[in-house]
Structure 1
Amino acid sequence: MLDDLDRHILEILAGDGRISLKDLAAKVSLSSPSVSERLKRLEERGVIRAFTVEVDPAALGYALQAIVRIRPLPGQLHRVQQLIEEIPEFSECDKVTGDDCFIARLHLRSIDQLDAILDRIIDRAETNTSIVKAQPVKRRLPPL
């Protein structure tokens, strides 16, 4: 279970994962060694999995995003999953219940690229694609 101080630390890190230990300690009114120990415990418990960087795909030339619902044909589930894992433009994929087996996010340089990628799995799965217009809620922490 998280205490209020752990929650505060996580909220600060979610806003700025590159904050220095000294600045983080000052924001939560603890010493740097105390904050370091708390971070270590949060990592050991699996609460913090990684300190990472957020990259804007548009800045790398990926102007389009698509959400693709994927329903493998009978007997093709594992092969379709393998193909999704191998295609680097799939930046996220969830295996889900319901009519579809996978819901994936693609980052694309052009609409033509979408056809080329989907052609690689179309003989093994049915797909339904939506182009992302905007992302009103970015990935965020669940309530702490």
Structure 2
Amino acid sequence: MRLNDLDERILHALAEDARRSYADIGALVGLSAPAVKRRVDRLRAEGAITGFTVRVDPAALGWRTEGFIEIYCGRNTSPDDIHRGLERLPEVVAASTVTGDADAVVQVFAADMRHFEEVLERIASEPYVERTKSVLVLSPLLRRYTAGAPQWPGSRP
């Protein structure tokens, strides 16, 4: 699916605030509220919009420790194997296969250091995991919750 400029601007507006009204988005992009609704409905039907959600500060839920775990797997471990092993852990908020020496990188939120260590031990105990390497986040420097391609200087508005 190829999105045009109006579709991308609508997606960026929704990514900033999914509760924004169609009228407000329309004022930003130069369309009527019904026209924005039709485009949003089409974007949902085509799969460009996969859902609407709320962003919650993990600390508000008691998750005060964040870390990343590199997973190094045995031979013939498929991404599906890794996915099945990780999806059972609610502390895992993101996981991706990666280039380089590690097979996957996992983002984890935990209540405290002991909890993080327990999650690390559960991941390391998966039969396909040969070893792990972890780092803890001291301070998040930048978090972006946007839609579409980044807007580089000189790119399309």
Count of aligned pairs: 144
Instruction: Give, as a single letter, the amino acid of the residue that structure 2 aligns with 1:36.
Output: K
The residue that corresponds to 1:99 in the other structure is 101
| Number of the residue aligned with 2:154 | none
In the alignment, is the contact (CA less than 8 A) between 2:65 and 2:116 conserved in 1? Answer: no
Change in Cα spacing, 1:121 to 1:6, as seen in structure 2 (3 Å) is closer
Residue type of the partner of 2:142? Answer: V
Q: Does residue 143 in structure 1 map to residue 144 in structure 2?
A: no
Aligned to 1:117: 119
Q: What RMSD in Å do the two structures reach over aligned CA positions?
A: 2.1
Q: How far apart, CA to CA, are the structure 2 residues paired with 1:47 and 1:81?
A: 23
Deviation (angstroms), 1:48: 1.5
Deviation at 1:30, TM superposition (A): 1.9
Contact (CA 8 Å) 1:80, 1:121: kept in 2 or not?
no
Q: Deviations over 1:9-32 (max 9, x none)?
A: 122112111111222223323222
Question: Superposed, which structure 2 residues align to 1:56-71 within 5 Å?
Answer: 56-71=57-72
For structure 1, which segment, 72-81 or 15-24, has the greater mean C-alpha deviation from structure 2 after superposition?
72-81
**How many angstroms does 1:53 deviate by?**
1.0
> Identical aligned pairs, as a percentage?
33
Question: C-alpha separation between the residues in 2 aligned to 1:108 and 1:115?
Answer: 9
- Which stretch of structure 1 is more off in the superposition, 55-64 or 78-87? 78-87
Larger deviation, residues 2-11 vs 48-57: 2-11
TM-score for the superposition, normalised by structure 1: 0.86
Given that 1:67 and 1:105 are in contact with CA atoms closer than 8 Å, whether structure 2 keeps it comes out as: yes
Number of the residue aligned with 2:73:
72
Q: 2:84 maps to what in 1? A: 82
Secondary structure in structure 1 of the residue aligned to 2:123: coil
Secondary structure of 1:25's counterpart equals helix
Is 2:55 the counterpart of 1:54? yes
Unpaired runs of at least 5, structure 2? 152-157
**Which residue, 115, 129, 132 being the options, matches 1:127?**
132
Distance 2:75 2:3 in 1: 44
Distance 1:88 1:15 in 2: 26
Where does residue 9 of structure 1 map in the other structure? 10
* Runs of 5+ consecutive residues of structure 1 not aligned to the other structure: none
SS of aligned partner of 1:121: helix
- For 1:46 and 1:79, how far apart are their aligned partners in 2? 26
Does structure 2 retain, via aligned residues, the 8 Å contact 1:93–1:104? yes
